[in-house]
Each structure stands twice: as structure tokens, then as C-alpha cells.
């Protein structure tokens, strides 16, 4: 009888990828980044392990929101106190802190437990096209919208 092979920590090999978000929709970029952070692009993907790679997102300030989302979409947070709901429109959020828009989109696509927090630590987001991770020799990840999910 053949047993199912499961990846272990010693089997993991982490790579560095760089994604240029300029001119791409925010949700599409975030889902691709979440996929890389989870490790779903690898044949050794294991749901209970962090099999993902490190991801650098550059040009976060030039990411697109389609339709009228800049005027109609809000980012919410709550202080925990009555009446403590804060909301900010995405046009202001993108003008003030574009990394946060990408940050929130990716974070909400990852699991909400300690495994998701471990995955999220491997994400680096920069508003421009410069980053301090040249020593890791990140490979460019080309976004392919026609990629077939398997």
C-alpha cells in the first residue's frame, strides 16, 4: 500500500520573487501574491505548512482599481469602542499610503491564524520601483491572467 507523501520543513526551498504592480488591478495582484506566499504554485504544497516563497511588490502606488472603486470603496477599521468605526475612501488611501491598500488586500486573502501571519511576514511592499533586496536576487514573476488553475 502506497502512503501519501507530505512535505516537511527540511523539504522546503524558499525563493524570492518580484512583482511589478504598475498598471495591474489590485485584486488580481493581491490574489497572485497570496498564491505565492501560500506556496500553491509549488508541487509540494501542503495546507498545514508554510511552503510559500518571499514576495516583493514594487510600484504599489501605480496599482489600479477598476470602475469607480476609487470614489466608492472604503477601508474600514474599528477601535473596539462604541462609535469607534473609522472609514477612509480608497482615493485618499491610495494618495496617502498606497502600500496599505496592497497590504490589506493580500492580508485578507491569507488565513487568519498563526500560519497566515507567518506567510505574511515574507511580503515586502514598496510604492516605487526601488527596493533594498537586490542581494536576494529576486526572480521577476510575470502576471499571467490566462493561467489555468490546476
Q: Which residues of the chain have pLDDT under 50?
A: 150
pLDDT of residue 142: 81
84: cell is 469607534
User: Could you tell me whether strands 123-125 and 54-58 are parallel, antiparallel, or unpaired per DSSP bridges?
Assistant: parallel
Cα–Cα dist 69/96, whole Å = 16
Using N-to-C axis directions, what is the helix angle for 26-38 and 98-107, rounded to 10°? 50
CATH superfamily of 16-66+97-140: Ribosomal protein L13 (3.90.1180.10)
For residue 73, the Cα-to-chain-centroid distance in whole angstroms is: 19
pLDDT tens profile 122-148: 999 999 999 999 999 999 998 776 765
pLDDT of residue 143: 75
Cα–Cα dist 60/71, whole Å = 18
- Give pTM, 2 decimals: 0.90
Sign of CA dihedral 71, 72, 77, 80: positive
Amino acid at each position: 500500500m502506497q502512503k501519501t507523501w507530505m512535505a516537511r520543513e527540511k523539504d522546503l526551498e524558499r525563493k524570492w520573487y518580484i512583482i511589478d504592480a504598475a498598471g495591474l488591478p489590485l485584486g488580481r495582484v493581491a490574489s497572485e501574491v497570496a498564491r505565492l506566499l501560500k506556496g500553491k504554485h509549488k508541487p509540494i504544497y501542503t495546507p498545514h505548512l508554510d511552503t510559500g516563497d518571499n514576495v516583493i511588490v514594487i510600484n504599489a502606488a501605480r496599482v489600479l482599481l477598476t470602475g469607480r472603486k476609487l470614489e466608492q470603496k472604503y477601508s474600514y477599521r474599528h477601535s473596539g469602542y462604541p462609535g469607534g468605526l473609522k472609514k477612509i475612501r480608497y482615493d485618499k488611501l491610495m494618495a496617502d499610503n498606497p502600500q496599505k491598500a496592497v497590504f490589506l488586500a493580500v492580508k485578507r486573502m491569507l488565513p487568519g491564524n498563526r500560519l497566515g501571519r507567518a506567510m505574511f511576514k515574507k511580503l515586502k511592499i514598496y510604492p516605487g520601483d526601488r527596493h533594498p533586496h537586490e542581494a536576494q536576487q529576486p526572480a521577476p514573476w510575470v502576471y499571467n491572467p490566462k493561467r489555468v488553475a490546476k
